[in-house]
Structure 1
Amino acid sequence: MSILLTFPGQGSQRAGMLHALPDEPVVAATLDEAAVVLGLDPLALDTEAALASTRAVQLCLLITGVAMARVLSAQGGAPDMVAGFSIGEYPAAVVAGALDYADALRLVALRGQLMQEAYPSAYGMAAIVGLDQAPLAALVAQVHNAAHPVYIANLNARRQIVIAGSDTALQQVMDLARQHGASKVQRLAVSVPSHCPLFDAQAQEMTAAFAQVSVRRPVLTYLSSSAARSLSDPARIRASLATNMARQVNWTDTVRLAWERGARLALEMPSGSVLTRLTTPELADGLAISCEGQRSDSLLAMLAEARRTP
């Protein structure tokens, strides 16, 4: 059975996430490299106050994802494929061997800074549960205008969709969604309007930054959740990573693709279990679990068992 590692996006962060990593040499090395590249102690990034910064959140998710994947790989738990959600595509690319960790740190620091500076307040994201894409798109179109933009951003599950835009427009769509039968609407812990055209200009800046970075063919299957397909050509991976802040995330189809390619065990890197909940319905006859709250030896035993299973 093939093993898929999944890397969560913004909103899954929690205070202390870097401090909760296993006490392993490979984790210390990962944190030390981050300190050298960033010029600061990465352990200062995961306080509750620091995580108010989009830049700090994205760096924490990158560092945590790479560190945990390295712990598992160092002890025989290497994956067959990887997939990341939004910022999670960066640690996925590092683990796949397509992007150097040091370059990822610099790029994610820039990405977070650009996103934070573009929309420091009055924008964000909200989840709508219980409506299909077409009727929700009609509600979004009813509200959207130049002064108060709103877009469909993430296709998380069949009837769980995330919208992004101004606070005013988000609230209007949330109210309409309730009136039209949504079972749940919720603002997310994301302070920027990711995965929509509002970030087109910043995506162009990231494209320029990526032109200075080496991207290689991955050594394992790399699934892009913005393209909802496997990417192996370095130019396509570069373009996908550079522009993913302005592109929809299609997690449902990405997990379905992983299943079609043989994934039957999906292990979510820290922190949280959001992707585990979203992955489970699409991973027919498989198992999706989170690293959160699990001992490393238990995870390694599970991975070893998966390796032995045809």
Structure 2
Amino acid sequence: MTRAFVFPGQGSQAVGMGKDLSDNSSVARDVFNEVNEALSQDLSGLMFDGPIEDLTLTFNAQPALMAASIAVVRVLEKEFDVNVADNAGYVAGHSLGEYSALAAAGTLSLSDTAKLLKLRGEAMQRAVPVGVGAMAAIMGAEFSVIEEIAAEAADGEVCTAANDNADGQVVISGHKGAVERAMEIAKERGIKRAIPLPVSAPFHCPLMQPAADEMAAALADTTFNAPCVPVITNVSADAVSDPNALRDQLVEQITGRVRWRESVLKMGELGVTDLVELGTGKVLGGLVRRINKEIKGRSIQTMADIEAFATELKS
């Protein structure tokens, strides 16, 4: 069996995230305290108690999701002797989850990852004034069809496929008017579900270039180590181990498409049979069933989940 550890992206945040681990593990508390200190913010308090409106803000949600994921990783490593290098062939993450994957694989330090994600969230919010951009999920059509619809809807503005999440689940991003035109075209073509997303900025499209420029400067000043296992990156949907390539692709990722469907297909080609989502929610574990039914998906977020997983590995 080849296993991949994967890490969730924005949208998986929820009030109470990480609290079970914090209540039951000093190792997890150390992770949350280190992130709080790095950000000079009581982020864990916001994670545990909300309010959800503040937790959902991009610059809070991104480091919070990472902290919850790395708490799971550290508890597995330090309390159950289950480390990434010996128990996974690959790591990957959805959008901001790629930062969690890099922290889990030892490429980035925890404090650097927290600071980078705080900046990433702030930079993405600054890049486009509120109300100028939008995103929408279009369900029930092949990716190539959505690409055509986005190109037709652009009409001189930006409209592009931002997230290729699974068969029949594609997110588009760009100028608000162009995204609305794309939704109308989709309905005219008989695609029944086109849903505007409650986001504050149009992520993963060319409008994010100012954020990419900010992140490029910050990432250039950050130490990148070689990962202990290859990273299946969002930009390439391929296995990458070179630290400089990983750094460059984090910059590209800001404006580029999240190729999650292709990433999971690549994992299958590489022999992955077990995809384990570490952190909050069960989104990625659910998507894998729509992409490759040969890969088993599961999610680990509580101490009970960790104990069951560790026991299974050692049996």
Whether these two folds match at TM > 0.5 is yes
2:86 is aligned with 1:77: no
Q: Does 1:178 align with 2:184?
A: no
The answer on whether the counterparts of 2:149 and 2:186 sit within 8 Å (CA) in structure 1 is yes
Aligned pair partner of 1:105 in 108, 114, 137: 114
State the distance in 1 between where 2:230 and 2:310 align.
20
Give the deviation of 1:20 after TM superposition.
4.0
**Counterpart of 1:40?**
41
The answer as to whether partners of 1:5 and 1:82 remain within 8 angstroms in 2 is yes
Measured after TM superposition, the shift of residue 27 of structure 1 is 0.6
Q: Aligned to 1:214, what secondary structure does the other structure show?
A: coil
Alignment: residue pair count: 304
Larger displacement relative to structure 2 (296-305 or 76-85): 296-305
Listed one character per residue, the Cα deviations across residues 113-142 of structure 1 (whole Å, up to 9, x for unaligned) are: 111122352233211111122322222122
Query: Would the aligned equivalents of 1:10 and 1:190 in 2 still touch at CA under 8 Å?
Result: no
1:169-228 C-alpha deviation (Å, 9 max, x unpaired): 322212221221224222334322111111122112211111111101111121112210
User: What TM-score does the superposition give when structure 1 sets the normalisation length?
Assistant: 0.91
| Equivalent residue letter for 2:226 | R
In structure 1, how many angstroms separate the alpha carbons of the residues matched to 2:291 and 2:149?
Answer: 27
In structure 2, give the amino acid aligned to 1:295. D
Q: Distance in 2 between matches of 1:110 and 1:233?
A: 24
Residue identity matched to 2:140: G
- Identity of aligned pairs, percent? 31
Which of 280, 298, 306 is the aligned partner of 2:289? 280
Is the contact made by 1:125 and 1:191 (CA closer than 8 Å) also made in structure 2?
no
Alignment of 1:38-187 (within 5 A): 38-46=39-47, 47=50, 48-74=52-78, 75-79=80-84, 80=88, 81-122=90-131, 123-146=133-156, 148-187=157-196
Offset at 1:158? 2.5
Contact 1:259 1:284 survives alignment (8 Å):
no
Deviation, structure 1 residue 32:
1.1
Structure with the larger helix share: 2
| 1: CA distance, partners of 2:123 / 2:199 | 15
Q: Aligned AA for 2:36?
A: A
CA distance in 2, matches of 1:242, 1:28: 31
Tell me the SS of whatever aligns to 2:204. coil
Does the aligned pair in 1 maintain the 2:128–2:208 contact within 8 Å?
Answer: no
Q: Distance in 2 between matches of 1:3 and 1:272?
A: 19
Between the aligned partners of 1:68 and 1:236, the Cα distance in structure 2 is 27
135-144 vs 225-234, which deviates more?
135-144
Instruction: State the alpha-carbon separation in 1 of the partners of residues 237 and 7 from structure 2.
Output: 15
CA 1:169 to 1:247, structure 2 compared with 1: closer, same or farther past 3 Å?
same
1-structure distance, mates of 2:70, 2:229:
15
Contact 2:167 2:290 in 1 (8 A): no
State the shift of 1:26 in Å.
Answer: 1.4
With the length of structure 2 as denominator, give the TM-score of the two structures: 0.90
Moved more, 43-52 or 195-204: 43-52
Deviation at 1:267, TM superposition (A): 1.2
8 Å CA contact 1:54, 1:116 repeated in 2: yes
Does the 8 Å CA contact 2:126/2:211 hold for their aligned counterparts?
no
Unmatched 5+ stretches in structure 2: none
Q: Is the 8 A contact 2:141 2:169 kept in 1?
A: yes
Where 2:241 maps in the other structure, the secondary structure is: coil
Match of 1:28 in 2: 29
Aligned counterparts of 2:154 and 2:127: Cα–Cα separation in 1: 19
RMSD between aligned alpha carbons?
1.9
Name the amino acid aligned to 1:224.
Answer: T
Distance 1:151 1:6, change over 3 A: same
Report the Cα offset of residue 250 of structure 1.
0.7
